[in-house]
C-alpha cells in the first residue's frame, strides 16, 4: 500500500517536472536553441574588439588597442582551445569574460573564426 502511494507520488512528480520543462522550452525562452555566436559577440566582445572584430570598439584602449580579431596571423597563432582560454581566463590586458557556459564559448569561437580576413 505504502509502495503504491509512493509510486503514485513519483509519477506525479515526473509529470510535473516534464510539464515544467516542456513549458520552458516552448514558452519563448531560447534555452533549447543553440547559442548565437554573433549575438554573444555583440554583447560580450564588440565593446572592445569592435562589431566587426577589427579591434576598434568604443572601449578599445586608445593607446594599446585591443586585438584585431580579423588578423589571419592571430588565427594561425591561436588554437580554438587558446581562444577558449582567453575568454575564460583573460590574457595580459584582457580580463576574463564571465557568465558564459561552454556552449556559448564554442559559438563565440566559431564566430571569431568567421571574422578572419
Ligand atoms: C574590456 C575589453 C575587452 C573585452 C570585453 C574583450 N576583449 Fe578580447 N582583448 C582585449 C584586449 C585589450 C586584448 C589584447 C590583450 C593583450 O595582448 O594584452 C584582447 C585580446 C583578445 C584575443 C587575442 C589574444 C592573443 O593571444 O593575442 C582574443 C582571441 C580575444 N581578445 C577574444 C575576445 C572575445 C571572444 C571576447 C568576448 C567574449 C573578448 N575578447 C572581449 C580586450 C577585450
Residue at 54 is within a domain: yes
Q: Which residue has the cell 564571465?
A: 98
Residue at 29 is within a domain: no
pLDDT at 30: 59
| CB-based contact 71:53 (threshold 8 Å) | no
Domain tally for the chain?
Answer: 1
Question: Domain containing 63: what range?
Answer: 35-117
Q: Which residue has the cell 588578423?
A: 71
- Indicate if ligand 1 lies below 6 Å from the C-beta of 88: no
| CB-based contact 90:96 (threshold 8 Å) | yes
pTM here? 0.79
In angstroms, rounded to a whole number, what is the distance separating the alpha carbons of residues 12 and 45?
45
Query: Which residue positions in the chain have pLDDT lower than 70?
Result: 1-31
Residue at 40 is within a domain: yes
pLDDT at 89: 98
- Indicate if ligand 1 lies below 6 Å from the C-beta of 47: yes
67 Cα to the center of ligand 1, angstroms: 6
Amino acid at each position: 500500500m505504502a509502495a503504491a502511494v509512493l509510486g503514485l507520488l513519483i509519477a506525479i512528480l515526473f509529470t510535473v517536472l516534464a510539464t515544467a520543462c516542456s513549458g520552458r522550452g516552448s514558452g519563448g525562452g531560447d534555452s533549447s536553441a543553440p547559442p548565437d555566436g554573433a549575438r554573444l559577440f555583440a554583447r560580450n566582445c564588440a565593446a572592445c574588439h569592435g562589431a566587426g572584430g577589427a579591434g576598434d570598439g568604443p572601449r578599445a584602449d586608445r593607446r594599446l588597442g585591443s586585438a584585431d580579431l580579423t588578423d589571419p596571423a592571430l588565427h594561425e597563432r591561436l588554437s580554438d582551445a587558446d581562444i577558449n582560454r582567453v575568454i575564460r581566463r583573460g590574457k595580459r590586458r584582457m580580463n576574463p569574460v564571465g557568465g558564459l557556459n561552454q556552449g556559448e564559448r564554442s559559438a563565440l569561437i566559431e564566430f571569431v573564426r568567421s571574422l578572419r580576413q
